[in-house]
Structure 1
Amino acid sequence: MSEAAPAIPQSMTKAKFAIFVTLFTAGIGNSFVFAILPPLGREIGLQEIQIGSIIAASATVFMLTAPFWGRKSETWGRKPIILFALAAYCVTTLLFATVVHLSLNKTLPLLVGYALLMLFRCTFTGGISGIFPSSQAYMADITSPQERTSGMALVGVSTGLGMIAGPGLAAAVAEYGMIIPFYAVAGLSVVAGVIVWAFLVDVPRESHPHDAPHEPLFTRDLAPFFIISAMLMTTLSCMQQATGFFLQDMFHLSMEATTRKVGIALMASAIASVSSQLIFVQRLKWMPKTLMRTGSPLLLIGVVSFISTDAFEVMVASMGCFGLGFGMMMPGNISSLSMTVAGHQQGRVAGINTSAQGFGFIAGPLLGSGLYQFHRYLPYCVCTVLAIGTIFMVYRIVRVPDADVIDEN
């Protein structure tokens, strides 16, 4: 079980701010691509499956590298890995933007541009995959079991606010040029790196003994949480990938108009997600079991209501309902997972969980773009099945630990 956190010095307030900025920046880097890449890829000349394959391939790299960074954070420390990840974020985003610019101008052959976009996006995710397990493990390092849900909610809120800002940024600048967002988020990564370097206080190495036995982590108690993470991210990324095509085709929109409407829909989901974490976790102090049992049905309601209407306003509200449920599920699931293991296992567990989320970002875009080519509603049918499966896992399979019992032990 997770050990009580050490006394937190005053500098930890600044460290939490550094984690917040880092995850906010990472959230922007991930989310604005979902809003901008479907119409941008079509403008370049890519097919839907090619666009989806860029996201899926990069998610594969993310999934494979996250456990490595999680393990290394136990020995190298959280701070060096986060700084390296932010540097990779900046460089690869600028390279991706350059290829987009050359492809839009038809300077690069289509297949060359496609290959380079995939290469640089994969390099991007291979680098930033270190941010999430290191940040999650760092938050576990400095919080007690009673504070764990609130701490993990801060992780979720940080990323969620980035998920809001990303589509909003893409929507705001769509009329002025499709390259500007790439340069903006690259600049943000530099700012985040400076803040991490100045404010983040790494956990002493003694808190993570090198000679601790490597117990198996894919156990009966832990596996359901990893599976839920994968299912949640598959549902989310499938919805995000398909929605760009869905709205463009349903309302016969231009590239710029599609970017704006997709940005609004994804922002509604992200705003609801962040709001649910601020209200139900930070203010009302709901426990993980309550969060998961309330959030999982909301996921299903959001998906079903989205495909049951042809009114854009109702679609936006449906995305908000989905985001509300997602915002409850993620901190509930992550904090439960963190409270189930000991302190020296936090990095490894965070790495595996991040990898499970990465798997979702492989399957989701492929399902969203691949199935969409056969019928526009097929991706949402898959999301419905996954939402039902999540409800079953939450109510029948998972064993959510009790924070008070952990602390006493």
Structure 2
Amino acid sequence: MLSKSSFPLLLLNMFLAMLGTGLVIPILPDLLKEFGAGGQAAGYLVSCFGLTQFLFSPLAGNLSDKYGRRPIIVTGLALFAVSNLLAAAANGLPLLFVSRLIGGVGSAALVPAIMAYVADITTDEERSKAMSWLGASMSSGFIIGPGVGGFLAELGLKAPFYASACIGVLAMLCSLKMLPESLSPQIRRIRQQTKVERKSVFRELALSVKSRYFILLLIVFATTFGLTHFEAIFPLFVVRGYGFTTRDIAILITVCSLVGTFNQVVLTNWITRRFGEKRVISAMLLLSAVSLVFLLFSGHFLYVMLVTMLFFTFNNILRPTLNTMLSKEAGEEQGFVAGMSNAYMSLGNIFGPALAGILFDIHIDLPYLFGAVVLLASSIVAVRWIGRKGSGVSANMDQSTGI
């Protein structure tokens, strides 16, 4: 890597961005009770974060290509801190929704800029391992968020928000002082002087359908949909279905996320070299679908922990594999493709929790059954469409894996 000293800071920043997404989940029942809100509000509260993340991700990716990764990363961290302070000050649902919307904008700035930064400072040989570590920080932050939120809530319902805001400010200050810019001044100057027609996020989304990496973006959506479908209603599911407590939920998710992250770091690089990216993506999607169904079979704490641990592990291996393939396909469009990846991830964050809340009100098992169907269908798509002759994905994958 060109700048090894900056990489740990990038991992921390990505962790914080994903931490903010899941932090509110375990305290949702208490927050909704305090504000007199119903169950569907839980899904919408998680979804609104993804809404602004989706709308602003392509713009943030393009800005990072033109003006540099560092200022966009710092801006994202600042918005992250502001969103948490607003959430801590909220005395009703409206301000809480506003805080989540701002948090989505911060994540839209942070995530694609960090992914593009990693692509800037790594060679093709280093990128798979770097994306694996980045995926580990992303997945662990998103999954540890509920566990941390549950533990901090014992100090006060708003304590998770205050703690997250303080960490965000610290990360922003560290980035201002210690994070160098990965794009040279010459490249930024050329890109700023180049007149490019501005496209709306919806037009860019439509154009991505015809791109060589569309199938990978579609799987990014399905993966995020499945994970958020799982996580948004998980506390409500285990409380109503199995009688778990808030402490049970915090312990469960924290332990499973740590094991899943460890498995990701240890296994991802080896398993992709051994079997190739296409097989890994297809298998992880299938196994994730199976684990969602198995969650419905028993409410024993250790059984639920085992199934959840497997689900997190499969998702943790899947994410960096997808990111690596997308990065290889991006070429000179690292910022744009990273922004589009974040946009598709945001769509999963929007529709996954919202639909999970609606299905949960119909029957508590429906969210996981439907999520399993989506992941299973994505596995079939991966088998049939990734690696088609003449596609860019196929060429890059064959070259890197020897298939």
Matched, 1:323 2:323: no
Query: 2: distance between equivalents of 1:132 and 1:385?
Result: 28
**Residue in structure 2 matched with residue 20 of structure 1 by the alignment:** 11
Change (3 A) 1:333 1:122: same
1:244-283 residue pairs with structure 2 within 5 A? 244-252=235-243, 257=245, 259-282=246-269
Decide which moves more: 361-370 or 173-182: 173-182
Offset at residue 289 of structure 1 (A) = 2.9
- The answer on whether the counterparts of 2:242 and 2:299 sit within 8 Å (CA) in structure 1 is no
Query: 2: distance between equivalents of 1:60 and 1:32?
Result: 17
Match for residue 204 of structure 1 among 159, 179, 184: 184
Matched, 1:383 2:374: no
- The answer on whether the counterparts of 1:298 and 1:324 sit within 8 Å (CA) in structure 2 is no
Q: Percent identity?
A: 25
Offset at residue 311 of structure 1 (A) = 1.6
Change (3 A) 1:301 1:33: same
Query: 2: distance between equivalents of 1:340 and 1:222?
Result: 7
**Residue in structure 2 matched with residue 108 of structure 1 by the alignment:** none
- The answer on whether the counterparts of 1:93 and 1:186 sit within 8 Å (CA) in structure 2 is yes
- The answer on whether the counterparts of 1:301 and 1:321 sit within 8 Å (CA) in structure 2 is no
Return 5+ residue gaps in structure 2 as ranges: 198-203, 388-392
AA paired with 1:395? V
- The answer on whether the counterparts of 2:223 and 2:285 sit within 8 Å (CA) in structure 1 is no
Match for residue 361 of structure 2 among 368, 373, 376: 373
- The answer on whether the counterparts of 1:238 and 1:368 sit within 8 Å (CA) in structure 2 is yes
1:325-344 residue pairs with structure 2 within 5 A? 325-343=314-332
- The answer on whether the counterparts of 2:53 and 2:105 sit within 8 Å (CA) in structure 1 is yes
Query: 2: distance between equivalents of 1:199 and 1:183?
Result: 24
How far does the alpha carbon of each residue in 1:68-96 deviate from its partner, in whole angstroms, 9 at most, with x for none? 10111101111001101111111121111
**Residue in structure 2 matched with residue 395 of structure 1 by the alignment:** 383
**Residue in structure 2 matched with residue 348 of structure 1 by the alignment:** 336
Match for residue 27 of structure 2 among 32, 36, 50: 36
**Residue in structure 1 matched with residue 200 of structure 2 by the alignment:** none
AA paired with 2:338? A
Match for residue 125 of structure 2 among 140, 146, 156: 146
Change (3 A) 1:226 1:183: same
Change (3 A) 1:77 1:226: same
Matched, 1:74 2:65: yes
Decide which moves more: 318-327 or 277-286: 277-286
- The answer on whether the counterparts of 1:82 and 1:134 sit within 8 Å (CA) in structure 2 is yes
Return 5+ residue gaps in structure 1 as ranges: 1-7, 104-112
Offset at residue 175 of structure 1 (A) = 2.8
Q: Aligned pair count?
A: 381
AA paired with 2:153? A
Offset at residue 173 of structure 1 (A) = 2.7
**Residue in structure 1 matched with residue 288 of structure 2 by the alignment:** 299
AA paired with 1:266? I
Offset at residue 406 of structure 1 (A) = 7.4
**Residue in structure 2 matched with residue 106 of structure 1 by the alignment:** none
Query: 1: distance between equivalents of 2:222 and 2:63?
Result: 26
- The answer on whether the counterparts of 1:272 and 1:321 sit within 8 Å (CA) in structure 2 is no
TM-score calculated relative to the size of structure 1: 0.87
SS for the counterpart of 1:34 is coil
Query: 2: distance between equivalents of 1:134 and 1:267?
Result: 27
Offset at residue 58 of structure 1 (A) = 2.4
Decide which moves more: 321-330 or 138-147: 138-147
Query: 1: distance between equivalents of 2:400 and 2:271?
Result: 21
How far does the alpha carbon of each residue in 1:119-156 deviate from its partner, in whole angstroms, 9 at most, with x for none? 12101211221110000111111122222221211211
**Residue in structure 1 matched with residue 220 of structure 2 by the alignment:** 229
Query: 1: distance between equivalents of 2:254 and 2:370?
Result: 22
1:116-155 residue pairs with structure 2 within 5 A? 116-155=95-134
SS for the counterpart of 1:130 is helix
TM-score calculated relative to the size of structure 2: 0.88
**Residue in structure 2 matched with residue 107 of structure 1 by the alignment:** none
Change (3 A) 1:54 1:163: closer
- The answer on whether the counterparts of 1:90 and 1:186 sit within 8 Å (CA) in structure 2 is yes
- The answer on whether the counterparts of 1:75 and 1:205 sit within 8 Å (CA) in structure 2 is no
Query: 1: distance between equivalents of 2:308 and 2:46?
Result: 21
Change (3 A) 1:285 1:252: closer
Match for residue 242 of structure 1 among 203, 227, 233: 233
